[in-house]
Structure 1
Amino acid sequence: MLRILGVSRSGYLSFKKREFIKNIKPTRKDKLKILIKDVHLRSKQIYGAPKINIEFRQQGIKLSEKTVGNYMREMGIKAYYIRPYTKTTVDPDFDSNLKKLLKEQFSPEKPNAIWCSDITYIHTQEGFSYLTSIMDLFSRKIIAWRLSQTLEAKWVVECV
């Protein structure tokens, strides 16, 4: 059979030996995949290819970011993106003072006796917009409102 294919016996046996060793001995790629998975799990699945590559460089493993990304894709590993927390307000403790002013009487007996205001945050593609509204507590109707791009006291004063 080897004669028909034009292959020497030693070449065939060498090929078989290489295939056998290849199947038993893990390749560099397999070892790197294990290392990538280990770093990814240690980072609580947050690290992507760039950060894994930085960690490899610190350990002395030279590998391109693209290769790390390709191996991650082959293994079906993705980094989870954690959206940064956006602090919308500074929460001063005004509630206790306001409750004392109204003496918890939120149902006035005549119109325009008590007004209340509120600022609502509206998340848009450009960032936050702020809706300031003033409501009459007797009729529960909005008396005035103002939409602004910044959270400044002048918009509340302008609304009043």
Structure 2
Amino acid sequence: MTRQRRKFDTSLKLEVVRMIKEQGLSVQHVSESMSIGPSAVRRWVKQYEDEQAGQPGIGKPLTPEQQRIRQLEQENRQLRGDVEILKKAFGLLCPRTEMSYRLIDELQKKALNVAQCCRVLGVSRSGFYEARRRAAQPAVCKASVHVRAAFAASHQSYGSRRIVAALANDGLQIGRHKVRRLMRQAELKPVWKRKFIHTTDSKHALPVAANVLGRRFNPVAPNVAYASDITYIRTGAGWLYLAVVLDLFSRRVVGWAMAPSMPASLVCEALNMAIGHRQPAPGLVVHSDRGSQYASAEYQTLLAKHGYICSMSRKGNCWDNAVAERFFLNLKMERVWQRQYANHAEARIDIAAYIVGFYNCERLNSVLGNLPPTVFERNMAAKESIVVSEIT
């Protein structure tokens, strides 16, 4: 079966490059979150850098001056690498301070003068006695160090259950009661703050769709059902509104958009981003609340253009869109409420980093068996390919 080559428009390529160049995200995180090959992402970044530097594009020969500059840059990188190797080799060949302290300790047992031994070996007496004092102290609990590291890596959001799962994924088995005790001793508490404020404007005369999804939040395959919603972010320059689209199969954020207001174009931009890199087939169910943005003609036209089915929550029932609401709660508890954004640009960069660098690729989701969304999708795709190969 011939694999169809994916095509990406220029706006999507530019958005991917900006996430790397302006927001400081890594190529690996962006490629995993957007489901785009890392080689393609690197090629787009290289082409963007060449265009910004005024260099010739792909297929155009370099001038002699540009060839000479590239040769000098390559020689310079090689020289820096050679110097770095020599620095590391010198440090390894020199006598280690710890070995000198151990030798002085042995010589002192033979009634030799400590001051003289330190002077001959080129170490200080205070350093020798400090090393002896540290050696006499009780050993640090390794489990406590791992628990602290896992808690810090989760942006102070994991409780004992997720800490246990995170350590198990790293090959370290620790019981939950021990983790709870270590967290209590270290005063590690997840950040919990105020609840959401209702922002949906459903008092409009626009037509609303039926609740097609019906709280079936666990589809059997990706790109079968999406959930979408809008929330607000407080900044020093005023409110910033965030619209997201999640694939209910893996709870993965597949599209998002931010703006200082809430027009219908905001939710359309988020959905277009999801369509751009997931390319779901017609028949996809896209669920949302009854907000005026989702009931607008612009949004409904976008759904009809791609053959998607609109689904809306029942009036005043937030549980019909619980997955999107839960994502916003996690976002605010784990990132937004721990920050004070000075302006919209700072908030955009930090929220995009949370989605791409933490939520999609690293954050453990209990619904997915304590796996991140991207890892869950890869595992399910691998299982499906194995089943298909066995059948054929």
Same fold (TM over 0.5): no
Structure with greater Cα Rg: 1
TM bucket, shorter chain: 0.3 to 0.5
TM-score (norm 1): 0.39
1 or 2 for the larger relative contact order (CA 8 Å, sep ≥6)?
2
* Higher relative strand content: 1
